[in-house]
Structures are given as C-alpha cells and as structure tokens.
Amino acid sequence: MGSRTLMLLDTHVLLWLRGGDERLGQTARREIDRAWRSSGVGVSSISFWEIALLQTRGRIRLTERVGPWRRERLEQGMAEIPVDGEIGIRAVDLADFHADPADRLIVATALDGHRLVTADQRMLDWPGRLDRIAATR
C-alpha cells in the first residue's frame, strides 16, 4: 500500500457494513462512507481468512461462498492489504496485546499508518500508538 492511508475495517466491521448491521454507529458509518468515496477503505487479507473460517464453522452465514463475496468487495473498490513478513514480525512484537493472531495481524497492518475501525474493546483499550475509531460510535 505504501504511503496511502486507508480506513482499515476490522473483520466484524466489514461484515456489519455489508449486512447493514445497526451495531455500526452513525459516526463510524459516516467516516467509512467518506473514505469509500475517495477509495480509501481497506481490509487486511487476514479478515477474509477469518470470514472463511467463521463460515466453515457455521458461526456466520453469507449468501454466497467467501471467494466470490471477497471479489465483489474488491470490485466495489475496497483495498486488500496483504499480510507480508514485516506485518507478521510487527504482530509478534506488539507489547501488552492479547494473543489472538488475527487481531495482532490486523493491528500490525493498521500500524502502517491506517485508521482502524473496530468494536473490539481490547483493541480500543490497547495503550499502543494506534489510530482507531470505535465502530459503535
């Protein structure tokens, strides 16, 4: 992605946005809409892995398979940020952060200068230098 700053959606926010979930607050929705208009919305590639895992385990239902669902999001202008070695190493090095590997990778991705939108209280409360917005606002 380079120096391009994105509004980085946590996995549940991506699902909430797609499904019109009311848990996504008006302020967060407005910020996402503004970023979308300037092609500034992104998601970590690990989020698609999480969604596929949740679907396989029966914890979420999509109207289609994850592959076509992912391609539709990307065709609509969402940027996918791949997990590379640098992000992986940064995820391991997060001080005072919980152990969930997907959350660690998403935060490590956001630390590249992106603004994370999440409702995960552990991410919101983390004392690290992370630009973030509460998805429920």
The full DSSP string for 48-88 is: HHHHHHHHHTTS---SS-HHHHHHHHHHTT-EEE---HHHH
Distance CA(116)–CA(104), nearest Å, equals 12
- How many Cα atoms sit within 13 Å of 98 on the Cβ side? 11
What pTM does this model have?
A: 0.94
Per-residue pLDDT of the chain (137 residues; tens, 9 = 90+): 445 789 999 999 999 998 889 999 999 999 999 999 998 999 999 999 999 999 999 999 888 899 999 999 999 999 999 999 999 999 999 999 999 999 999 999 999 999 999 999 999 999 999 999 999 99
Cβ-in-10-Å burial (0-12, 13-18, 19+) of 55 comes to middle
- How many Cα atoms sit within 13 Å of 105 on the Cβ side? 18
CATH of 7-129, one of 3.40.80.10, 3.40.50.1010, 3.40.50.620, 3.90.226.10: 3.40.50.1010
Residue 99 DSSP label: S
**Which tokens is 134 given?**
């509460």
Sheet of 7-9, strands arranged across = 79-81, 41-44, 7-9, 115-118, 132-134
DSSP string, 21-47: -TTS-HHHHHHHHHHHHTT-EEEEHHH
